[in-house]
């Protein structure tokens, strides 16, 4: 902690303050700087797992991979485990996260009991849901390091079983699928079997699936998708009955990381010949991130498109939430207007109000995730992303800020709690040592 504070105070006034992390799960490009980042080298571990209290004390840049490794031997896991192994606890709280338990457990920050935060004023304070720093506690989610950085978090854990049994249920129209999401989320079961995890994949308007996960201690054979087999392809089937599968809880939590959902296909790793030669240790999101960094540095993809006589492509990498009753409408629109498939569905219901990402507590939303590229409009290189932003707003939804955003400033602050943010910003970063949220999320400074 002391070295973190020293490194913060060593950054000259007026220079950008950033974490010196080796990994990132943000898709926003940032303005380059020669100023050293904050030294977080001592903040990457699990401090304690209290199995009796079902809590974990965790340092801010501890990855979920390391946290899960520490909790599973106790038969416990975080209430929400974001999909990618290198997402950190602090990152998921300040930048949001989601997964298939979110229909019942909300978002990762809702399991936080308390956290230590290095504020923009250079002080470390302990923020809890009530008390002196409750305003910081509630404004911290979706602040993306513009109010401070979490150095320690105490979170609630939940019991898990050794395995997760899966039922992949096929739907032939989106309206029926959306109705099933609402029914399962409300009742917590399907066909009399409890549902602990719920997400879905849309391949087309006529082919979509919900995957229903149930915790189980019953031993038996399990699948492995870290080798030749690809998880998202295992979901597809033609039967009117659900397709069943089983994974260890560890492999279920990381089922999407091996192929970065389906995005590994961009690197050829879903080609059977290439996949056989691709080392298993490289089948993970952290390695694919390195390839993305190389592409950004050398414009590899655009150069390949140019060799084929094609124009550059627009990156459309986003997660949005829309109310359940507008989900089918949004997905139909998306499939008509944006040539990307598959897309991911993940229902979420928050338990409280969070001012910087104001979902209505108790209302069921559906996160729609889409991560690919589309042909670039020569007149507007961000045309598709702007179209999506307009549609999401029209349907009373919200968009995560981990990727590119294009809102004008007035619209942005209206959507992301501008008044509440300004009050907390004044208190905890009075000299504006840290960027404000609009500068970081939209101007990409």
The confidence score (pLDDT) of residue 300 equals 73
DSSP state of 359: P
Dump pLDDT digits (tens) for 186-196: 999 999 999 99
The confidence score (pLDDT) of residue 42 equals 79
> CA angle, 257 as apex, 251 and 262 as ends, to 5°?
120
The confidence score (pLDDT) of residue 293 equals 81
- In terms of pLDDT, which residue wins out, 305 or 141? 141
Residues 188/212, Cβ–Cβ less than 8 Å: no
How far apart CA 76 and CA 65 sit, in angstroms, is 14
How far apart CA 340 and CA 325 sit, in angstroms, is 22
Percent of the chain whose predicted confidence (pLDDT) is above 90: 83
Q: Which domains does the chain have, with CATH numbers?
A: 2-160+419-441 (3.30.465.10), 163-255 (no CATH)
Token code pair at residue 351: 């338990």
Q: Where are the alpha helices (DSSP H) in 26-88?
A: 64-71
Scan for tokens 């904050």, then name that residue.
38
Dump pLDDT digits (tens) for 321-376: 999 999 999 999 999 999 999 999 999 999 999 999 999 999 999 999 999 999 99
Q: Report, as an integer, the average pLDDT of 93-115.
A: 97
Cis preceding-peptide flag for 342 (omega within 30 of 0):
yes
Instruction: State the pLDDT confidence band at 13, using cuts at 50, 70 and 90.
Output: confident
How far apart CA 204 and CA 222 sit, in angstroms, is 29
Q: Given a cut of 60, is residue 28 above it in pLDDT?
A: no
> CA angle, 50 as apex, 47 and 51 as ends, to 5°?
135
- Mean pLDDT over the full length of the chain: 92
Dump pLDDT digits (tens) for 110-138: 999 999 999 999 899 999 999 999 999 99
How far apart CA 295 and CA 304 sit, in angstroms, is 11
How far apart CA 278 and CA 259 sit, in angstroms, is 12
Percent of the chain whose predicted confidence (pLDDT) is above 70: 91
Q: Report, as an integer, the average pLDDT of 406-419.
A: 97
Please provide residue 229's backbone torsions phi and psi, each rounded to the nearest 5 degrees.
-80, 145
Length of the chain: 445
Instruction: State the pLDDT confidence band at 297, using cuts at 50, 70 and 90.
Output: confident
How far apart CA 387 and CA 319 sit, in angstroms, is 14
Residue 353 neighbours by CB distance under 10 Å: 13
This prediction has a pTM of 0.93
Q: Where are the alpha helices (DSSP H) in 174-316?
A: 174-187, 231-234, 249-253, 272-277, 285-298, 300-307
- Give the H or E element holding residue 332: helix 324-337
The confidence score (pLDDT) of residue 189 equals 98
Strand partners, 157: 78
Instruction: State the pLDDT confidence band at 308, using cuts at 50, 70 and 90.
Output: confident
The confidence score (pLDDT) of residue 30 equals 57
Instruction: State the pLDDT confidence band at 36, using cuts at 50, 70 and 90.
Output: low
Report the DSSP pairing between strands 193-194 and 55-59: unpaired
Q: Among 29-33, 237-241, 340-344, 402-406, which is the least confidently predicted range?
A: 29-33
How far apart CA 386 and CA 374 sit, in angstroms, is 13
Instruction: State the pLDDT confidence band at 306, using cuts at 50, 70 and 90.
Output: confident
Q: Which of 270, 214, 272, 217 is nearest to 245 (CA)?
A: 214
């Amino acid at each position: 902690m002391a070295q973190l504070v020293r490194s913060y105070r060593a950054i000259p006034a007026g220079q950008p303050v950033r974490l010196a992390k080796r990994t990132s799960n943000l898709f926003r490009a940032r303005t380059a700087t020669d100023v050293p980042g904050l030294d977080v080298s001592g903040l990457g571990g699990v401090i304690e797992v209290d199995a009796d209290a079902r809590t974990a004390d965790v340092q801010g840049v501890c990855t979920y991979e390391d946290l899960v490794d520490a909790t599973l031997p106790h038969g416990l896991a975080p209430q929400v485990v974001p999909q990618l192994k290198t997402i950190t606890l602090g990152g998921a709280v300040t930048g949001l996260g989601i997964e298939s338990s979110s229909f019942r457990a909300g978002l990762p920050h809702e399991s936080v009991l308390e956290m230590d935060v290095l504020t923009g004023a250079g002080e470390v304070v302990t923020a809890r849901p009530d008390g002196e720093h409750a305003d910081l506690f509630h404004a911290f989610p979706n602040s993306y390091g513009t109010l401070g950085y979490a150095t320690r978090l105490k979170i609630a854990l939940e019991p898990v079983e050794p395995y997760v049994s899966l039922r992949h249920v096929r739907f032939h129209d989106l309206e029926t699928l959306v109705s099933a999401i609402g029914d399962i989320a409300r009742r917590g079961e399907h066909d009399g079997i409890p549902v602990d995890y719920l997400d879905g994949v849309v391949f087309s308007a006529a082919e979509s699936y919900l995957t229903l996960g149930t915790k189980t201690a019953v031993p038996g054979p399990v699948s492995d998708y870290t080798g030749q087999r690809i998880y998202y392809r295992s979901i597809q089937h033609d039967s009117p009955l659900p397709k069943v599968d089983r994974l260890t809880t560890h492999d279920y939590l990381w089922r999407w990381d091996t192929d970065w959902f389906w995005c590994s296909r961009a690197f050829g790793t879903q080609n059977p010949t290439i996949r056989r030669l691709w080392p298993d240790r490289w089948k993970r999101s952290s390695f694919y991130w390195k390839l993305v960094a190389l592409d950004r540095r050398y414009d590899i993809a655009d150069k390949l498109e140019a060799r084929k006589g094609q124009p550059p492509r627009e990156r459309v990498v986003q997660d949005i939430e829309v109310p359940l009753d507008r989900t089918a409408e949004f997905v139909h629109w998306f499939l008509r207007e944006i040539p990307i498939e598959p897309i991911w569905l993940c229902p979420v219901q928050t338990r409280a109000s969070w001012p910087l990402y104001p979902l209505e507590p108790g209302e069921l939303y559906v996160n729609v995730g889409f991560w690919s590229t589309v042909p670039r409009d020569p007149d507007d290189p961000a045309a598709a992303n702007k179209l999506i932003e307009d549609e999401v707003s029209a349907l009373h939804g919200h968009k995560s800020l981990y990727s590119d955003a294009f809102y004008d400033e007035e619209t942005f602050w209206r959507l992301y709690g501008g008044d509440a943010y300004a009050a907390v910003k004044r208190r905890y970063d009075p000299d504006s040592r840290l960027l404000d949220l609009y500068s970081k999320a939209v101007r990409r400074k």
